[in-house]
Amino acid sequence: MIKKLLWVLLAILVIAALIFYSNKDQWLQEFNQERQQQQSEYIARGKLFGDTANQQQCLDKSLEQLGNCFSYGCTLDHGAYLRSCLQNAQPSASFCKGVPAYQTKASQADKQWLKDNCWNRNLNGESCRFLFKQQMNFCSVNK
C-alpha cells in the first residue's frame, strides 16, 4: 500500500516537473516582466521621496521599509528605492562621515561596520547590509 502511494506521488512530481519545464520560457518572461514593473515602481517611489528629502532621510526610510524582509526580491526593490532616492535628495552634512570607502571585497573592518550599523537599527541579514553597502558606494563615488 505504501509503495503504491509513493509511486503515485513520484508520478505526480514527474508530471508536475514536466509541465513546469515545458512552460519555463513563458514563466521566466512573466517573472522578469513582474520584477521590472515592481522595480520601476520602487524607483519612482524613491525619486518622489528624494525630491523632498535629504540623503539621511532616504537611507532611514529605506531601512524602515525594509524591516526584516530577507527575500532577494525585497532586497533588490529597496536597493532600487534607495539609489533613486539618493540621486534626487538634498545633501546631508554627516551622511558620509565615518562611512568606509567602498571596495569590491570588504575588509574585516568594513564587515564589522556593516554588522554594527544593522544591529544598531535592530535589523540583520544581507538585505540590511546591502543598503549600507549602497551608502558606502554612494559616498565613495560622490566624494
The neighbouring-strand residues paired with 54 are 90
Candidate from 5-9, 89-93, 98-102 with smallest mean pLDDT: 5-9
Report the 10 Å Cβ neighbour count for 119.
Answer: 11
Q: How does pLDDT run across 6-24, given as a tens digit for each residue?
A: 787 777 887 766 666 676 6
pLDDT value, residue 18:
67
Model confidence at 46: pLDDT above 80:
yes
Q: How confident is the model at residue 35 (pLDDT cuts 50, 70, 90)?
A: confident
Query: Residues 54, 18: contact at Cβ < 8 Å?
Result: no
Determine what percent of the chain is predicted with pLDDT higher than 90: 59
**pLDDT for 51 beyond 70:** yes
DSSP state of 89: S
Beta bridge partner(s), residue 90: 54
* Model confidence pTM above 0.85: no
Question: What sections of the chain are H helices per DSSP?
Answer: 2-22, 24-50, 55-66, 72-88, 108-120, 126-141
